[in-house]
């Protein structure tokens, strides 16, 4: 166990803080803290490919010869994570699959032994607390999905706050929307923020940088979160200032990226993950400048990770879909295309074998009463809906707003606010999964800046 610190709040120096990321994934939360000026010194994740992605982007490319720990969190000794007696901030996002609606549905189909309280991942927050407290962390940040507030009657963030309070911390939890922090995605997540009692209260919450162009009234804002106010440790998120820039849209985020598949008749090319292609245009807005900015304040001229999935049957469906269309509309379009094909090939219903064979080539087999939410064409004039780890399996949930295809790896990264110099050292499928699981770095940066203020950290 790390020795108790004797330094005062005013004695904390930003450059001396060790930030340790548990359940780090590919590094979205760490990158946000790095953007805010923190040093990421160690991290743990059970997924080796995600560890490699984070190691490369957070450490190796900056000349730091160190590997992050790939290990089951239950087997981690806190002493493995520290190099000295400098103060520690512990951050992390324990697995959300047991809490999320999508995850619960999948787990139920696998049997009772993988569902509800029988899913051990639901209680990995205890390992997060164990390590955080053993490290005598001066501050703690935990992220998870909003559904964790009601996990079969348990409010996980509230439980975490109460346990941390018993261990000598002041702790709050709140719900933040990534779009309010400059991310082109309406992704809501729960954050627990805790500070050791000797360092003060959690007085400062993350400050929004962007505003919904259709911002709800303060009264409606309060109504939205009122159901959580019965919990002692819940704090209402800050309301975006009316002078903030408007939410970043999908069009803002993607319009300069390489054109990959202009029409459904285009030739499909599977680019390698490390193949770089030139941008369509110079950066046309502040978000694109931020994503393309280099160290010397120039902008990148080309970009990698321009690969997307080969879904031959559905490219022509995507082409006729309008922004916002879901699977119900996609299925209707598929039937129209099938009817046109029957007429063209002069195939009649009575020719059952030929008819059914052609139908398989045009019409997806999914139930329109159950499947409609799994397909969605992005609207270029709005932020994206939430990216999820299922992107690792398919990208029908995020169809490109202009081109007739699913989004590319780089486009998914843009929608999560990973800059274009963030390299995914893995396959296309693994990259999609890592991106979908990640905390958007710009949202993480907003949280990190609040931690800075609560600890009154000094630079230099």
pLDDT digits (tens, 9 = 90+) for 405-417: 999 999 999 999 9
Distance CA 194, CA 158 (A): 12
Give the model's confidence band at 113: pLDDT under 50 very low, under 70 low, under 90 confident, else very high.
Answer: low
What are the tens digits of pLDDT across the range 198-216? 988 999 999 999 999 998 8
Give bridge partners of residue 69 from the DSSP assignment: 44
Instruction: Place 107 in a pLDDT band, splitting at 50, 70 and 90.
Output: very low
The answer to whether residues 389 and 416 touch, using CB atoms and an 8 Å cutoff, is no
SS3 458: strand
pLDDT-derived band at 117 (thresholds 50, 70, 90) equals low
> What pLDDT, on a 0 to 100 scale, did the predictor assign at position 457?
82
Question: Can you read off the two tokens belonging to residue 176?
Answer: 């933040």
Of the chain, the percentage scoring pLDDT greater than 70 comes to 93
Distance CA 391, CA 407 (A): 10
Cβ(320)–Cβ(329) below 8 Å? no
Distance CA(333)–CA(135), nearest Å, equals 57
pLDDT band at 106 (very low <50, low <70, confident <90, very high): low
SS3 18: strand
- The span from the CA of 12 to the CA of 54, in Å, is 27
Contact by Cβ (8 Å): 439, 33: no
Question: Which pLDDT does position 85 carry in this prediction?
Answer: 86
Query: 6: pLDDT confidence band, cut at 50, 70 and 90?
Result: very low
Domain 9-246+439-455: top CATH class? alpha beta
Q: Which of 238, 138, 168 is nearest to 452 (CA)?
A: 138
273-302 residue pLDDT tens? 999 999 999 999 999 999 999 988 899 999
Q: What is the residue-averaged pLDDT of the chain?
A: 92
Three-class secondary structure of residue 198 per DSSP: helix
Q: Element (H or E) spanning 196, and its range?
A: strand 188-196
- Residue ranges of alpha helices (H) inside 114-172 are 125-134, 156-166
Instruction: Supply the DSSP symbol for 286.
Output: H
Minimum mean pLDDT among 81-85, 451-455, 456-460: which range? Answer: 456-460
Q: How many C-alpha atoms does 326 have within 13 Å on its Cβ side?
A: 11
Q: Which residue has the higher pLDDT, 296 or 19?
A: 19
Query: Which pLDDT score, from 0 to 100, does residue 460 have?
Result: 43
Categorize the per-residue pLDDT at 7 as very low, low, confident or very high, splitting at 50, 70 and 90: very low
What percent of the chain lies above the pLDDT cut of 90? 82
CA angle 223, 226, 232 (to 5 degrees): 160
Q: Is 440 helix (H, G, I), strand (E, B) or coil?
A: coil
Burial pattern 101-134, b for ≥16 Cβ within 10 A else e, equals ebbbeebeeeeeebbeeebeebebbebbbebbbb
Residues involved in catalysis: 96
Residue 119 has what DSSP assignment?
-
Q: Rounded CA gap, 451 and 206, in Å?
A: 8
Q: Yes or no: say if 435 and 392 are a contact pair by the CB < 8 Å rule.
A: no
121 — pLDDT class (breaks 50, 70, 90): confident
Q: What is the largest CA-CA distance in the chain?
A: 85
pLDDT at 200: 87
* Assigned token pair, 334: 């598929």
* The model's pTM: 0.93
Average pLDDT over residues 437-445: 98
Q: Which of 423, 421, 412, 426 is nearest to 378 (CA)?
A: 412
Contact 432/395 with Cβ under 8 angstroms? yes
Beta strands in 231-325 (DSSP E): 277-278, 302-303
What is the C-alpha separation between 7 and 146, in angstroms, rounded? 36
Mean pLDDT of 150-159: 93
pLDDT one-digit tens code per residue, 354-375: 999 999 999 999 988 887 778 9
Check whether 32 has a pLDDT greater than 90. yes
Token reading at 285: 């807005």
Please compute Rg for the chain using Cα positions. 23
Region of 424 (left: φ > 0; alpha: ψ -120 to 50; beta: rest) is beta
More confident: 322 or 121: 322
């Amino acid at each position: 166990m790390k020795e108790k610190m004797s330094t005062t709040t005013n004695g904390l120096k930003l450059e001396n803080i060790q930030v340790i990321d548990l359940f780090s994934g590919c590094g979205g939360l760490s990158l946000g803290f790095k953007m805010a000026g923190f040093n990421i010194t160690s991290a743990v994740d059970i997924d080796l490919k995600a560890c490699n992605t984070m190691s490369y982007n957070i450490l190796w490319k900056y000349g730091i010869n160190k590997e992050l720990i790939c290990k089951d969190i239950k087997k981690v000794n806190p002493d493995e994570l520290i190099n000295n007696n400098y103060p520690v901030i512990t951050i992390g996002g324990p697995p959300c699959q047991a809490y999320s609606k999508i995850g619960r549905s999948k787990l139920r189909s696998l049997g009772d032994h993988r569902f509800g309280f029988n899913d051990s991942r639901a209680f990995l927050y205890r390992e997060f607390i164990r390590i955080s407290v053993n490290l005598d962390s001066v501050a703690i940040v935990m992220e998870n999905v909003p559904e964790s507030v009601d996990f079969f009657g348990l409010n996980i963030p509230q439980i975490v706050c109460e346990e941390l309070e018993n261990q000598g911390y002041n702790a709050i939890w709140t719900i933040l929307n990534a779009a309010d922090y400059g991310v082109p995605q309406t992704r809501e997540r729960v954050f627990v923020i805790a500070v050791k009692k000797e360092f003060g209260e959690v007085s400062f919450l993350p400050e929004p940088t962007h505003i919904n162009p259709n911002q709800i009234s303060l009264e409606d804002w309060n109504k939205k979160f009122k159901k959580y106010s019965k919990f002692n440790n819940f704090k209402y998120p800050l309301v975006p200032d009316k002078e903030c820039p408007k939410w970043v849209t999908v069009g803002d985020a993607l319009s300069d990226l390489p054109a990959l598949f202009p029409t459904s008749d285009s030739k499909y090319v599977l680019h390698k993950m490390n193949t770089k292609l030139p941008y369509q245009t110079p950066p046309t807005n502040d978000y694109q400048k931020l994503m393309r900015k280099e160290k010397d304040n120039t902008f990148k001229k080309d970009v990698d990770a321009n690969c997307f999935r080969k879904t031959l049957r559905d490219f022509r469906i995507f082409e006729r879909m309008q922004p916002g269309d879901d699977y119900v509309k996609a299925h209707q379009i598929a039937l129209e295309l099938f009817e046109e094909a029957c007429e063209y090939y002069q195939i009649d219903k009575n020719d059952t074998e030929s008819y059914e064979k052609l139908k398989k080539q045009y019409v997806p087999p999914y139930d329109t009463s159950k499947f409609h939410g799994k397909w969605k064409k992005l609207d270029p004039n709005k932020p994206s809906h939430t990216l999820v780890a299922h992107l690792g399996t398919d990208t029908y949930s995020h169809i490109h707003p202009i081109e007739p295809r699913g989004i590319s790896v780089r486009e998914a990264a843009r929608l999560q606010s990973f800059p274009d110099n963030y390299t995914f050292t893995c396959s296309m499928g693994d990259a999609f999964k890592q991106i979908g699981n990640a905390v958007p770095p710009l949202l993480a940066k907003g949280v990190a800046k609040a931690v800075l203020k609560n600890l009154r950290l000094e630079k230099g």
